Chain A
Amino acid sequence: MPEQNQIVAQQREAATLGMWAFLATEVLFFGGLFVSYTVYRHFYFADFAAASRHTDVTFGTINSIILLTSSFTMALAVRAAKMASQRLVSRHLLLTIFLGIFFLVIKGFEYHKDIVDHLIPGPHFNAEIPLHGQIFFYLYWIMTGLHGVHIIIGLAIMSILLGLNARRTASLKNSQAIELAGLYWHFVDIVWLYLYPLLYLVGRHA
C-alpha cells in the first residue's frame, strides 16, 4: 500500500506541475501584450495618460474586488474538495461562478459605455483623445477581451466540475480537478491585477 500511495502522490504532483507549465506559457502569452504596452507607453507617454483617463475607473474597481473575492471563494472550494466535503465544494464553486458572471455583466455595461463614448480605434474615434491614444485603446480592447475569454473558459470549466461534483461524492481525482481549475482561475485574477493599474490608473493623478 505505501508504494501505491507514493504513485498517487506522484501523479498528483505531475498534474499540478503540468498546470503550472501551462500557466507559464499563459504568462508569456499575455506578456507579449504587456511588453507592447510598455514600449508604446514609453513612446507616447502623455497620449497614454490622456487616453487612460477615459476608461471607467468605477467599473474597473468594482470588477477588481469581484475577481479578488472570486479567487477567495475558489480557494475555499479547493480546500473543501481536499476535505471531501461535497456540499461545501458545490456552494463555493457556485459562488465563484456567480462572481465570474457578475464580472462579465459589469464588463458588458462598461463596453457599452466605451462604445457610446467612441473609444473604438478608427475613423470615429473620440476626438478629445490625442491621436496615439488609439494605440492605448487598441491594447485596451485586445487585453480586456482576451482576459474576458479566459473568464468564460474558467466559467465553463467550473460549471462542468459543479456538475461532476453534484453527481458523485467528491473523490480524490475530482478534488484534484478542482485544484487545477483553481490554479487557472487565480491566474486569470492575477492578469487582471496588472490590467487594472495599467489601463485604469496610469493617468489619474496627472
Chain B
Amino acid sequence: MLLVIWLVLVALHFVILGCAWFGFGPATTPVIISLAIIQTILIMLYFMEVRYAGKVIRVFAVAGFFWLLLQLTLIATDYLSRNWH
C-alpha cells in the first residue's frame, strides 16, 4: 500500500509540473495547488497514518490547516475589498 501511495505521489508531481509548464491561464495556479492538496491528504492519511488514528488526533491534524485557511481568508477579505468604489 505504501509503495502504491509513493507511486501516486510521484505521478501527481509530474502532473503538477506538466500543468505548470503548459498552463491554462488564470486557473493554472489554483489547479496545481489543488493537486498539492491531494498529495498532502494522501501523505497525511497513509504515511502519517491519520487513517488509522483516533478522533482527537484527526481533529488536531486538521486544526493547523483550518486556522491557516481562516487566516488567509480574513486577510484576503481585507486586501480584496480595498479600493472599492
Dominant secondary structure at the B interface:
helix
Nearest to A43 among chain B residues (CB) is B79
Partner of A197, one of B10, B33, B46, B75: B33
A31 CB, nearest partner CB in chain B, Å: 4
Alpha-carbon distance A79/B33, docked complex (angstroms): 30
Contact between A35 and B16 (Cβ–Cβ < 8 Å)?
A: no
Alpha-carbon distance A16/B13, docked complex (angstroms): 29
Tally of contact residues, A, Cβ under 8 A = 45
Contact between A31 and B68 (Cβ–Cβ < 8 Å)?
A: yes
A64 near B: Cβ within 8 Å?
Answer: yes
Contact between A27 and B20 (Cβ–Cβ < 8 Å)?
A: no
Q: How large is the interface on B (under 10, 10 to 19, 20 to 34, 35 or more residues)?
A: 35 or more
B22 near A: Cβ within 8 Å?
Answer: yes
Contact between B57 and A16 (Cβ–Cβ < 8 Å)?
A: yes
B54 CB, nearest partner CB in chain A, Å: 6
Alpha-carbon distance A78/B65, docked complex (angstroms): 24
A117 near B: Cβ within 8 Å?
Answer: no
Dominant secondary structure at the A interface:
helix
Contact between A26 and B64 (Cβ–Cβ < 8 Å)?
A: yes
| Chain B stretch 55-85: residues in CB contact (< 8 A) with chain A | 56-57, 60-61, 63-65, 67-68, 71-72, 75-76, 79-80
| Chain A stretch 34-85: residues in CB contact (< 8 A) with chain B | 34-35, 38-39, 42, 57, 61, 64-65, 68-69, 71-72, 74-76, 78-79
Give the residues in chain B near A20, CB-CB below 8 Å. Answer: 57, 60-61
Enumerate 19 A-B pairs (CB-CB under 8 Å) in ascending A order: A16-B53, A17-B56, A27-B67, A28-B67, A31-B67, A35-B68, A35-B75, A68-B13, A71-B6, A72-B2, A74-B47, A186-B44, A193-B36, A193-B43, A197-B33, A205-B20, A205-B21, A205-B22, A205-B24
Q: Which residues of B contact A (CB under 8 A)?
A: 2-3, 5-6, 9-10, 13, 16-17, 20-24, 28-29, 32-33, 36, 39-40, 43-44, 46-49, 53-54, 56-57, 60-61, 63-65, 67-68, 71-72, 75-76, 79-80
